[in-house]
Structure 1
Amino acid sequence: MKTVGIIVEYNPLHNGHVLHYTRSKEITNADAVVAIMSGPFLQRGEPALVSKRARTEMALHMGVDLVIELPTAYAVQPAEWFAYGAVALLNGTGVVDCLSFGSESGSLEDLFPLAEALSEESGQLRNEITKHMSSGSNFPSAYAIAAANVTGSSQRSINELTQMLAKPNNSLGLHYLIALRRLQSRITAHTITRESANYHDLVPTDKTIASATSIRKLILEEGLETISSYVPNYTLDILYREFTNGLGPMDWERFRQPMFQTLLTQEPEELESYHEVTEGLEHRIQKVLPQLGEPTIDALLSALKTKRYTRTKLQRMLLHILLNHNKAEMSRTKLTEGPGYIRVLGFSDKGRVLLKQMKKTASLPVVMRPSTFSHPYLNMDLQASAAYASAYPNPTVSSMFSDYLAPPVIL
């Protein structure tokens, strides 16, 4: 059974995701689909709109056969580690033949040689990144320029490469290819052109395809009825159910109270111990807090943002503080070890067949119930889910501990 892997967040699952799923199966001639999906918190440093179980349901309704959770340790990271963790999980199943991802370029021609040149750990690359960030560039721009310099590109190529990697799906795709090479994976890569909506679009520009960003904006500002043309019926039904039951919609402001309590009660040296609190940001946090016009996460992020520190970087930093992630457990050495388990979130009948096959092929333990397995990253996942559920509009003790006890979603 030929199987294609996809790496997703589904926040929420929309028509663009359905298009990517369908074309991924078509171009790879795959019989089954395995999705690696982020848990309650996402790569841009945001809480998901609804729980990972609800989003797993969406994926299974669309036709995904097996949903595996990307551990929080990798899900809330820059592209390098997000990609590495997700690809390591696909590789660890032993049943995935190919990887399909969306990109703005729709071609691997430019990405393959870059991935080959950058797949080896390079002190030169890191020095170049540091140099350009010291000159005021943010990390994505610094990485693009450094990558061009390290690979010996001309000035014209540097400009072209910077523009290409400034597009988030191109950049993430490059890191998927780098991860495949670093892991010496047999998985082959394919890419599909992202159409009709850009990743950061705040307003829909198409009748049926819209970015997840614009869909979330519509939901939070105008209500669910405004998104019906952009999402499948099952997504709309699941969102209605979750919101009606007080399980969403979730956004950063739901975490305002615990976030400000932590920031207001810790000394700079305590804040500095958290992952992604770098280069004096602990002092900047302390400086801006008394100057805020209102105590909101949005106001805090706006006050902290500079040319060098993107909103995404700052959101991830705040999440690591909120979830008590220290630098030691998120070090390069630790992350290079990869996820230590495959946490199954849900599966179909065909997924059940894949799971049976994985008993023979998987290089990592397959975890169906967290209560039967222990790992530091799994503990972080359980804590993240509990923190997420504690901020529901109507939180309950059972919802805070459901991630530990609940079986996978079966459809």
Structure 2
Amino acid sequence: MNICGIVTEYNPLHLGHAYQIEAAKARTQAQGVVLIMSGNFVQRGEPAIINKYARTQAALHTGVDLVLELPTYFATSSAEYFSHMAIRLLNATGITTHLNFGSESGSIDDLVHIADILHNEPIGFRFLLNEYLSTGDTFPKAREKALYKYVHNHHLMSEDTAKAIKTPNNILGIEYIKALRRQKSNIIPTTVKRIGSAYHDDNSRTTIPSATAIRKFLQEHDNHAPLSEKLPLYSYNTLENAIHCGEGPIFYDMIFPFLKYKILASTPEVLGTYQDVNEGLEYKIIEAALHAYDYDSLVNKILSKRYTRTKIARALLHIYLGHEQKTFELLNSEMKPYLKVLGFNSTGQKMLKAIKKHDEDLPIIVNIRQGCKQLDDIQLLSYQADLNSTLHYNHLIHFYYNTKMNNEYETPIIRLP
């Protein structure tokens, strides 16, 4: 039986996502789809627009059968670590036969070729990478330049193909393939060419706008009716219901007052203990926070050739959530996988039984209180961070909308027929 894995955020779930689910099932001849989804905070370094259970409902009504949460420490990390943990979870299920992801390229062969160069790091490529890093380029920019030069020098592929490393979905796809290689996984990677607007395109008037454009529209308009034609029906209804109930939307800049307080109440030594706060970034963050009047001004005062906006956003989010670098390194090197279930339908329930049959020792958490009893000390560090992130998220909802949300212990997972 073929089971297709998809890794996503669905922030929110739009028509392009619905197309990918349908195309992935057809391409892999899958009898089931397992989703690895970020929780209440996402890889861009910001809160999700609506909570993870609402997004789980939208996913289950759009063709997914089982939704598992990507641990928060990794859901908010760079593409490499985000992908690494997602693939570990899919491997741990023991039933996932295929991985599908959307890409700007649409060619799995091109992306595999690039991933193999980046994974194997031949001597010529490593030399070029170090050369560009020594000039002060950020790692992503240095890697991009080194790949172009290496490909050109060795006539391995067209430079247009090599440019695939520049676009967001291709970057993630390449990291998925690298993770499959590192973990010696038997899961077969496949891709669907992304349709609709580009990842960063913020124009909501297009037929299939990006998630970025949808979030921008929500932030700028009170009347959301135009989005009814831009989102799958259930995704739109879920979004509107969350808003109607005072449970969102939550935007990236809403963390600013709490973040600024935490920064200014900390010393550089304390800030330097948080994930991704390194290379002296803590001093720039404190200096910027002294004069920042909102989130964007805070980030803009830190921006430089050395620090990209996304890196800064992730570092700030880790400060806000209290993610320590030493904990992240411990989890990344030593944590055994655990599966935290967000929702499932009848097919997903059968998949869970098959997963349990494959590995009886794998913790599968469907009840929060019982979940604590299944985990070892290292897993508990990650699990507690997941629960803590929900407390932070619910606090934002309460502060901005005066809505009291149930905590994780009071929130049942989503079960559909």
TM-score norm. by structure 1 comes to 0.92
Change (3 A) 1:328 1:152: farther
Counterparts of 1:354 and 1:404 in 2: how far apart (Å)? 24
- Give the corresponding residue for 2:67: 67
CA RMSD of aligned residues (A): 2.4
- Give the corresponding residue for 2:342: 345
Residue 130 of structure 1: how far off its partner (Å): 6.2
Change (3 A) 1:141 1:240: same
Alignment of 1:72-111 (within 5 A): 72-111=72-111
Counterparts of 2:158 and 2:368 in 1: how far apart (Å)? 46
Structure 1: gaps spanning 5 or more residues:
none
Residue 121 of structure 1: how far off its partner (Å): 8.3
Question: Which of 363, 366, 369 does residue 368 from structure 1 map onto?
Answer: 366
Aligned amino acid, residue 191 of structure 1: T
Residue 379 of structure 1: how far off its partner (Å): 0.6
- Give the corresponding residue for 1:176: 176
Aligned amino acid, residue 326 of structure 2: A
Aligned amino acid, residue 66 of structure 1: L
Question: Which of 391, 394, 403 does residue 389 from structure 1 map onto?
Answer: 394
Counterparts of 2:109 and 2:340 in 1: how far apart (Å)? 34
- Give the corresponding residue for 2:377: none
Change (3 A) 1:309 1:122: farther
Counterparts of 1:262 and 1:128 in 2: how far apart (Å)? 40
Aligned amino acid, residue 102 of structure 1: G
Residue 337 of structure 1: how far off its partner (Å): 3.7
Q: Is the 8 A contact 2:356 2:362 kept in 1?
A: no
Change (3 A) 1:284 1:157: farther
Change (3 A) 1:277 1:158: farther
Counterparts of 1:110 and 1:237 in 2: how far apart (Å)? 38
Q: Does 334-343 or 153-162 show the bigger shift?
A: 153-162
Residue 338 of structure 1: how far off its partner (Å): 5.2
Aligned amino acid, residue 132 of structure 1: Y
Q: Kindly indicate whether residue 311 of structure 2 is the aligned counterpart of residue 304 of structure 1.
A: no
- Give the corresponding residue for 1:212: 211
SS in 2 for 1:69: strand
Counterparts of 2:231 and 2:405 in 1: how far apart (Å)? 30
Deviations 1:182-219 (A, max 9, x none): 11111101011112210000103632x11000011111
Counterparts of 2:125 and 2:33 in 1: how far apart (Å)? 35
Deviations 1:322-356 (A, max 9, x none): 1111110112x631445530000000011111111
Counterparts of 1:271 and 1:159 in 2: how far apart (Å)? 41
- Give the corresponding residue for 1:406: 411
Aligned amino acid, residue 264 of structure 1: L
Q: Is the 8 A contact 1:339 1:377 kept in 2?
A: no
Deviations 1:256-277 (A, max 9, x none): 2210111111111111111111
Q: Is the 8 A contact 1:124 1:150 kept in 2?
A: yes
SS in 2 for 1:200: coil
Q: Is the 8 A contact 1:89 1:339 kept in 2?
A: no
SS in 2 for 1:376: helix
Counterparts of 1:287 and 1:155 in 2: how far apart (Å)? 47
Q: Is the 8 A contact 1:46 1:252 kept in 2?
A: yes
Q: Is the 8 A contact 1:197 1:205 kept in 2?
A: no
| Identity rate, percent | 38
Counterparts of 2:257 and 2:321 in 1: how far apart (Å)? 14
SS in 1 for 2:141: helix
Counterparts of 1:166 and 1:310 in 2: how far apart (Å)? 14
Alignment of 1:30-179 (within 5 A): 30-119=30-119, 132-147=132-147, 153-154=153-154, 160=160, 163-179=163-179
- Give the corresponding residue for 1:380: 385
Q: Does 354-363 or 333-342 show the bigger shift?
A: 333-342
Counterparts of 1:370 and 1:43 in 2: how far apart (Å)? 24
Residue 158 of structure 1: how far off its partner (Å): 9.3
Q: Is the 8 A contact 1:40 1:385 kept in 2?
A: yes
Counterparts of 2:326 and 2:106 in 1: how far apart (Å)? 38
Counterparts of 2:383 and 2:402 in 1: how far apart (Å)? 22
Aligned amino acid, residue 22 of structure 2: T
SS in 2 for 1:290: helix
- Give the corresponding residue for 2:201: 201
SS in 1 for 2:275: coil
Residue 134 of structure 1: how far off its partner (Å): 4.7
Q: Kindly indicate whether residue 259 of structure 2 is the aligned counterpart of residue 259 of structure 1.
A: yes
Q: Is the 8 A contact 1:256 1:297 kept in 2?
A: yes
Counterparts of 1:339 and 1:76 in 2: how far apart (Å)? 19
Counterparts of 2:96 and 2:364 in 1: how far apart (Å)? 15
Q: Is the 8 A contact 1:120 1:182 kept in 2?
A: no
Residue 229 of structure 1: how far off its partner (Å): 1.4
Counterparts of 2:39 and 2:196 in 1: how far apart (Å)? 27
